[in-house]
Amino acid sequence: MAGRFAPRSTPRAAVPHQAAAQTAAQAATHTAAQAVTHTAAPAADALTREWTPPGPFDLRLVVGPLRRGPADPTFRMTGDGTAWRTSRTPAGPGTLRLTARGGRIEATAWGPGAPWLLDRLPTLLGATDDPDAFRPRHRLLALARHQRPGLRLVRTGLVMESLIPSILEQKVTTDEAYRAWRLLVRKHGVPAPGPTDHAAFTALGLHVMPDARTWSLIPSWEWHRAGVDAKRSGTILRAVRVARRMEEAAAMELPQAMARLELIPGIGPWTSAETLQRSNGAADAVTVGDLHLPGIVGHALAGNRDADDEEMLALLAPYEGQRHRATRLVLLSGHTPARRAPRMTRGDIARL
């Protein structure tokens, strides 16, 4: 589910493909809490914006659910805490760099999608989220919220960029899904716009995911080489044929949005919840059908590591409207049962 793992509390040393950019964009200081500038940044064709969160804010915690594995070509979190992400916006490809500095978020964007990304920056970072709507009824959740006051639910406003990797994650190990996403985006996506004269940015290897037409033209053998079976690739192909209708779900209430996504054969409650947690910032989108989550929630809230979806939903019933936030806090608490069985067997159909 979105935000399954807590971010590291201390920055990691940068590795070659995650080298940190050495210079940050300089933005003007504003007295208004959410003042905005769209000005030329040091790199050509860059725009900047500055936003002040209305309360405690943890950048790693907020944007972390957008990362699909440590080598995700659409997302990097560098050693200095800077977040880089790419998007295929309605205006075109864009790259966004986010840095927390002095209680503010400094954002720089490149590409045709830069204005779109900066206009929606507060929404992306949870400005429309309401953490105070959550009322903990378990001591564990109260403590987790106290320890993570900067948690806000991300909201990208883009459905397909979360839907496709969620489909790839259906009924396989995360390593298999991350590998498929990485291979397909690097081969069929486009290099991300950005300060290409900076070696540090080039070393990140960022790409923008393919558009709907490009996804639809990927031949069957390329899906196979990426380890994606016919069931998952078929679901993606059905979704991209109606990509515009899928994107409309970003503006819908949760029940209607889930119904819209689940009209596509192969998309069920697990996939729609995983998608809408990110695209809509859906605080009540519960990930049902997950192999591990019911046992984790059952163990944390009732001491039952063998809980199923039904028991998980019963335990989360007091948090109606905030059940996704409750499960994120459970996961962030670290109160998970010890493993007692082998991991899910990893497959590799590319070798067949």
Instruction: Say what the pLDDT of residue 198 is.
Output: 81
Write a three-state SS string for 168-211.
Answer: HCCCCCHHHHHHHHHHHHHHHCEECCCCCCCHHHHHHCCEECCC
Q: How confident is the model at residue 339 (pLDDT cuts 50, 70, 90)?
A: confident
Share of the chain above pLDDT 70, in %: 84
Distance of CA 266 to the CA centre of its chain: 21
Q: Quick one: which H or E segment has residue 350?
A: none
Instruction: Say what the pLDDT of residue 38 is.
Output: 38
What value does the mean pLDDT of the chain take?
Answer: 88
Instruction: Say what the pLDDT of residue 35 is.
Output: 38
pTM score of the predicted model: 0.87
In this predicted structure, the answer to whether residue 105 has a pLDDT above a threshold of 80 is yes
Instruction: Say what the pLDDT of residue 308 is.
Output: 98
Q: Please write the tens of the pLDDT for every residue from 118-158.
A: 999 999 999 999 999 999 999 999 999 999 999 999 999 99
Instruction: Classify residue 303 by its DSSP letter.
Output: S
- Mean pLDDT for 292-313 is 97
Q: Report CA Rg, the chain.
A: 20
Among 286, 276, 269, which Cα is nearest to 325's? 286
Q: Please write the tens of the pLDDT for every residue from 20-79.
A: 333 333 333 333 333 333 333 344 589 999 999 999 999 999 999 999 999 999 999 999
Instruction: Say what the pLDDT of residue 189 is.
Output: 98
Share of the chain above pLDDT 90, in %: 82
Instruction: Say what the pLDDT of residue 351 is.
Output: 64
Instruction: Say what the pLDDT of residue 157 is.
Output: 98
Can you tell me the distance from the alpha carbon of 117 to that of 110, in angstroms, rounded to the nearest whole number? 9
Q: What is the DSSP string of 16-49?
A: GGGPPPS--------SSTT-----B-SSTT-EEE
Instruction: Say what the pLDDT of residue 352 is.
Output: 61
- Mean pLDDT for 160-178 is 97
